[in-house]
């Protein structure tokens, strides 16, 4: 059995038990390395967002969130993969699973703020840099976006 056969992906809207595991992963992967505390994890629009979580043996090992801004577009954010699983294809699986769901829901454009060191990852998935780099959480970022084609059939 490969690593990924043991990992299941599920969507959540708001579920306190699941969100606790997701917040812990977001803290460990996205905030703690920058010196931020757990109080810096939540975004004001988390409760209105779609959460896609990857689980392995009951633990959250990957996540990506989507905040709908209109019926047609929104922001992908808080993309994180557990360090031991990075570069094994889980990030790609999370983003493509999210995009498939969004296409079906009628979403046609996804944008995001990519940390400069992660822009290559989003580039591999078809996201393009828009405009000039900017600073966020003390590090350089690029605005990136992708147009989603309507599902076939
Ligand atoms: C960035 C991150 C989400 C990518 O997820 P991942 O599971 O490691 O990536 P995958 O293994 O699915 O990689 C998919 C492709 O992107 C490439 N890739 C992954 N990370 C990359 C990076 N930082 N820079 C350039 N390319 C990258 C992979 O080589 C792979 O290429 P392929 O098309 O040749 O197969 C993950 O490494 C992570 O959580 N990093 C720390 C947190 C972070 O930076 N999050 C993003 C905030 S904007």
CA 111, CA 66: separation in Å to the nearest integer? 10
| Ligand 1 atom closest to residue 90's alpha carbon, by position in its atom list | 7
Model confidence over 67-103: pLDDT tens digits? 999 999 999 999 999 999 999 999 999 999 999 999 9
Q: Which of 74, 63, 57 is nearest to 24 (CA)?
A: 63
List the strands of the sheet with 7-12, edge to edge: 7-12, 50-56, 59-68, 73-81, 109-115, 139-147, 128-136
| Ligand 1 atom closest to residue 117's alpha carbon, by position in its atom list | 23
Query: Does residue 77 line the site of ligand 1, with CB under 6 A?
Result: no
Query: Does residue 121 line the site of ligand 1, with CB under 6 A?
Result: yes
Model confidence over 30-71: pLDDT tens digits? 999 999 999 999 999 999 999 999 999 999 999 999 999 999
Q: Which of 103, 112, 37 is nearest to 80 (CA)?
A: 112
pLDDT at 152: 79
| Ligand 1 atom closest to residue 118's alpha carbon, by position in its atom list | 23
Q: In 10 A of CB 112, how many CB atoms?
A: 23
Model confidence over 94-150: pLDDT tens digits? 999 999 999 999 999 999 999 999 999 999 999 999 999 999 999 999 999 999 998
Q: What is the pTM of this model?
A: 0.96
- Pick the residue whose CA is nearest to atom 29 on ligand 1: 87
Q: How far away, in angstroms, is 61 Cα from ligand 1 center?
A: 14
Query: Does residue 97 line the site of ligand 1, with CB under 6 A?
Result: no
Query: Does residue 79 line the site of ligand 1, with CB under 6 A?
Result: yes
Complete domains list, the chain, with CATH: 3-147 (3.40.630.30)
pLDDT at 2: 59
In whole angstroms, what separates CA 65 from the centre of its chain? 5
């Amino acid at each position: 059995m490969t690593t990924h056969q043991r990992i299941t992906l599920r969507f959540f809207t708001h579920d306190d038990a699941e969100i606790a595991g997701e917040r812990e992963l977001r803290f460990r992967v996205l905030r703690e390395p920058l010196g931020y505390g757990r109080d810096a994890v939540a975004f004001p629009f988390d409760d209105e967002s779609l959460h896609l979580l990857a689980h392995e043996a009951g633990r959250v090992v990957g996540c990506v969130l989507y905040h709908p801004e209109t019926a047609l577009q929104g922001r992908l954010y808080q993309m994180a993969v557990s360090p031991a699983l990075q570069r094994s294809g889980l990030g790609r699986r999370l983003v493509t699973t999210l995009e498939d769901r969004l296409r079906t829901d009628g979403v046609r454009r996804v944008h995001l703020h990519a940390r400069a060191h992660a822009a290559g990852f989003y580039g591999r998935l078809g996201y393009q840099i828009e405009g000039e780099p900017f600073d966020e959480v003390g590090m350089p970022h690029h605005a990136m976006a992708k147009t989603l084609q309507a599902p076939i059939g």
